[in-house]
Structures are given as structure tokens and as C-alpha cells.
């Protein structure tokens, strides 16, 4: 038991400094790769994203890699999100488990419809179109060290495209999970999106050089203008620290009621407290959650259905997020559906 506690405290010491290094005030617009902050899995979203200490299935590849470990079945996961302004996100993952260790592959793409290019002088459409997309692909590994403690990590490749420009990078996720063994109370910690700063390199004058120095007063490309390309600024990626606790309010053979509380610290916004709950009766799930100190409404809710079949156990989930003033009405707010299969 003492060894377990030492391991927990060691991870806490390693992870907490990264989380608290974020400034206590929001720095909106100062961080790139914003798509990395968009949660997946309708179950987690329906619980207000208070999920770091709850997650125990394949969606752990996003929330807390340690949650992959207590699995004795292979799983497949698909998630689709409709955001306002016709922005959509797809997420997919698959796992292979030995019962002690679990391996996973995952990928996500955020995409949108094409938009017309407008001439900056006449404000008329040029007949050309552009689009924007973001993607992440990665590998996860988790291990059950004891019957109460697990840990895991992920490495992922990142890419963001805007018109004809693109930036590539990488990041790491780390997580731990400890089950106290009393009323299924669990403590979960996760550090996500730990990686280098990113920078777009734009050659506005097509002279083959980027980040030119306009102060050298030299016309590098001989077009009569001095270094049209200014230095492109670096942007951090949204490093995210989460600390959560969850437990059973009630549990029987065919029903349960769980609650979860979580602190989130992201480097470009103020801290949020997330509160979530899930009630299961038979094969039906009902969920609700709220994110306090969030810049939109913060309320979310969802439902799910578990379907046992000869192929495996399917979980079909839906979640709604109130986007507040960002959406014209409820129908145009954020909606998620997800499908999980255990086999």
C-alpha cells in the first residue's frame, strides 16, 4: 500500500508543476492548435467533461491514457461532432489489450466546408476557394501496475492547414489513475498536449525566403520592395492539466449513479471546475454536467444505450452542449454522437 501511495505522489509532483505554471488569467488568441482542446466521446461530454477520473474505456486515449489499462476486451471507437458554422470533427480509435497492458491507435480530423476567397480591395469574390483543417494521429500505451493503480501515455503527430499553408508538430500526453477501493472512488490526473511551440512559415513575396529581416534595408528578391516577409511568431499549443475525483453514489447489479468533480487548467484560459453525473438503469444511461467559469454557458447533457450482440457489446451515445451566444438556437449548437464496441 505504501508503495502505491509513493507512486501516486511521485506522479503528482511531476505533473502538478506543469499544470500550475499556466497563468491565472486567460490569454485568449495566444495559442495555436486549438482543435486539441475539443473534447470527444458523447459520454464524457454529457458529463460536462468531468471525465479524467471516470474514464475506463477506449475514449481514454483523449481524456487520460491511464484509463485504458483496466480493460480485458479489445475496443473500437468512433465519434462525430457537429459544431456551429458547419464545422465538423471525426475521431476514431482502436485498442489491443493483454489484460495488463493496453495499446491503442487513434486519429482525429477537424474539417469544414470550402469558403470563397474575397479580394481585399474590391471585397468581391475571386472565384477561388479555400478551406481549413486540423488533424492528430497517435499511439497510446497503458499498464495496470496493481489492482488499484494504472498509468499511461500517448505520443501524437499534429498538423494544421490553412489555405495553402501548413504547420506540423508533435505532442505527448501522460496520465495516472488510482482507485481507493472504497465506493469506487478514483483519483485521476492527466497532462495533455505537452510539446514544442509551432510556427507557420509564410513566403509572401515568393522569393524562397521566410522570416526575413525588414530592418536590414535590403531588397532580397529585387522587386523594388524591402523584405515583404516579416518574422512569423511562434505559438504555444494548448497544454492542459486535469485533476479529478469520481465515485459511486449508488451501485447495484444492473444500475449505478456516479458523480465526478474536476479541475482543468489550460494555458490560454482561466481555470474551470467541471461537475458531472451519470445514472444507469439496465441498458439506459442518462448524463448531465456543467463547466463553471467557462466562457460560454457550460451546460451539457446526454443519453446512451448499451446493446449486447453476438459480435460484442455496443454503446451508442449522444450529447448536447449549450454554446450560448455562439449558436443561434439549440439545433445549431454542438451535438455529438459516438459508437463504441467491445469484443
Determine phi and psi for 102, rounding to 5 degrees.
-135, 135
Query: Residues 129-132: contacts with CB within 8 Å, 24+ apart?
Result: 130/162, 130/163, 130/164, 131/161, 131/163, 132/161, 132/162, 132/163
Region for 203 from its dihedrals, namely left if φ exceeds 0, alpha if ψ lies in -120 to 50, beta otherwise: beta
pLDDT number for residue 110: 95
Residue spans per domain, the chain:
2-199+234-342, 200-233
Q: What is the Cα gyration radius of the chain?
A: 22
d(CA 105, CA 156): 10
Q: Pick out the chain residues at pLDDT < 70.
A: 1-29, 201-232, 296, 325-332
pLDDT number for residue 5: 42
pLDDT number for residue 249: 95
For the chain, give the percent of residues with pLDDT over 70: 79
Pull the grid cell for residue 271.
Answer: 481555470
Of 42, 39, 40, 66, the C-alpha closest to 55 is 66
pLDDT number for residue 17: 43
H or E stretch including 210? none
How big is the chain, counted in residues?
A: 343
pLDDT per position as a tens digit, 195-212: 999 887 666 556 666 655
Q: Is 89 helix (H, G, I), strand (E, B) or coil?
A: strand
Domain 2-199+234-342 class, CATH top level: mainly beta
Determine phi and psi for 258, rounding to 5 degrees.
-120, 155
d(CA 277, CA 301): 9
Amino acid at each position: 500500500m505504501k508503495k502505491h501511495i509513493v507512486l501516486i505522489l511521485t506522479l503528482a509532483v511531476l505533473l502538478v508543476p506543469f499544470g500550475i505554471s499556466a497563468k491565472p488569467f486567460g490569454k485568449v488568441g495566444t495559442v495555436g492548435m486549438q482543435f486539441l482542446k475539443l473534447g470527444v466521446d458523447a459520454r464524457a461530454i454529457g458529463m460536462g467533461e468531468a471525465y479524467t477520473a471516470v474514464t475506463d474505456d477506449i475514449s481514454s486515449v483523449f481524456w487520460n491514457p491511464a484509463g485504458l489499462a483496466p480493460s480485458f476486451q479489445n475496443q473500437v471507437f468512433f465519434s462525430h461532432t457537429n459544431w456551429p458554422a458547419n464545422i465538423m470533427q471525426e475521431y476514431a480509435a482502436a485498442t489491443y489489450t493483454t489484460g495488463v497492458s493496453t495499446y491503442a491507435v487513434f486519429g482525429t480530423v477537424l474539417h469544414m466546408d470550402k469558403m470563397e476567397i474575397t479580394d481585399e480591395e474590391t471585397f468581391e469574390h475571386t472565384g477561388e476557394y479555400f478551406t481549413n483543417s486540423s488533424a492528430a494521429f497517435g499511439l497510446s500505451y497503458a499498464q495496470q501496475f496493481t489492482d488499484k493503480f494504472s498509468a499511461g501515455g500517448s505520443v501524437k503527430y499534429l498538423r494544421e492547414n490553412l489555405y495553402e499553408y501548413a504547420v506540423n508538430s508533435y505532442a505527448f500526453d501522460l496520465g495516472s489513475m488510482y482507485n481507493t477501493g472504497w465506493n469506487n472512488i478514483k483519483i485521476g490526473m492527466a497532462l495533455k498536449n505537452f510539446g514544442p511551440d509551432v510556427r507557420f512559415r509564410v513566403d509572401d513575396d515568393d522569393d524562397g525566403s521566410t522570416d526575413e529581416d525588414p530592418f536590414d534595408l535590403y531588397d532580397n528578391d529585387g522587386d523594388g520592395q524591402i523584405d515583404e516577409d516579416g518574422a512569423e511568431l511562434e505559438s504555444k499549443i494548448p497544454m492542459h492539466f486535469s485533476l479529478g475525483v469520481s465515485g459511486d453514489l449508488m451501485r447495484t447489479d444492473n444500475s449505478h449513479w456516479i458523480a465526478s468533480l474536476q479541475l482543468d487548467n489550460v494555458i490560454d484560459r482561466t481555470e474551470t471546475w467541471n461537475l458531472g453525473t451519470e445514472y444507469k438503469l439496465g441498458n439506459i444511461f442518462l448524463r448531465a454536467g456543467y463547466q463553471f467559469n467557462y466562457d460560454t454557458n457550460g451546460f451539457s447533457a446526454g443519453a446512451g444505450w448499451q446493446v449486447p450482440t453476438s459480435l460484442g457489446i455496443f454503446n451508442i451515445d449522444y450529447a448536447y452542449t449549450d454554446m450560448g451566444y455562439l449558436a443561434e438556437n439549440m439545433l445549431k449548437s454542438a451535438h455529438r454522437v459516438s459508437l463504441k464496441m467491445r469484443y
